[in-house]
Amino acid sequence: MSSTKQFLITLAIVAIVLPSVALATEYKVGDSAGWTIKFDYANWANGKEFRVGDKLVFTYPVGAHNVFKVNGTSFKDCTIPPLNEALTSGNDVITLATPGNKWYICGVGQHCAVGGQKLSITVLPAGLEAPAPAPSSAKGVVASALLVLIALMISLFTI
Ligand SMILES: *[C@@H]1O[C@H](CO)[C@@H](O)[C@H](O)[C@H]1NC(C)=O
Ligand SMILES: [Cu+2]
């Protein structure tokens, strides 16, 4: 096998493997406000594209808040799970492992029920095969570039 061909095969493999790594995004929940009460997390999540492999980072002063992953019913009703299920580090990183709807609430006092400290997101599958990303997003540009690269590889191989 020629070294050019080996190089192209290596590139093709990188192009296929890379997206799941390079395109992972870390979302700081609430941006500069962090994880707190009286913040519109529905509005914060609106328009964002969460994918498997992306991370959520909940930041707050230790003891002031916590994070529970709950189901849709508990989210709606602000039902607080047992305290030993809470994330409490003040810098809680959650890697989104599966597609679907995910719900997070704060279990301190009435923060969820009264303070609106609750986040609901929809996680999309990882990779390029999922619904087309918005063309303006950086992710979309990188993904498109990779698709072009892969198409180029295939055409080179068939010459
Ligand atoms: C949601 O979670 C609560 C508390 O863990 C549980 O009692 C309830 O059965 C769950 N509901 C569904 C629909 O899974
Ligand atoms: Cu709280």
- What pLDDT digit, counting tens, does each position of 122-138 carry? 999 996 544 445 544 55
Ligand 1 site, residue 74, Cβ cutoff 6 A: yes
CA–CA distance, 40 with 29 (Å, rounded to integer)? 11
pTM: 0.72
pLDDT attached to residue 115: 98
Instruction: Show the tokens assigned to 153.
Output: 């590889």
The Å distance, Cα 104 to ligand 1 centre, comes to 14
| Protein residue with its CA nearest to atom 11 in ligand 1 | 73
Contact 130/115 with Cβ under 8 angstroms? no
| Protein residue with its CA nearest to atom 1 in ligand 1 | 71
Q: What average pLDDT does this structure show over 9-36?
A: 73
Ligand nearest to the backbone CA of 73: 1
Q: Compute, in degrees rounded to 10, the torsion defined by CA atoms 16, 20, 22, 24.
A: 160
The Å distance, Cα 139 to ligand 1 centre, comes to 35
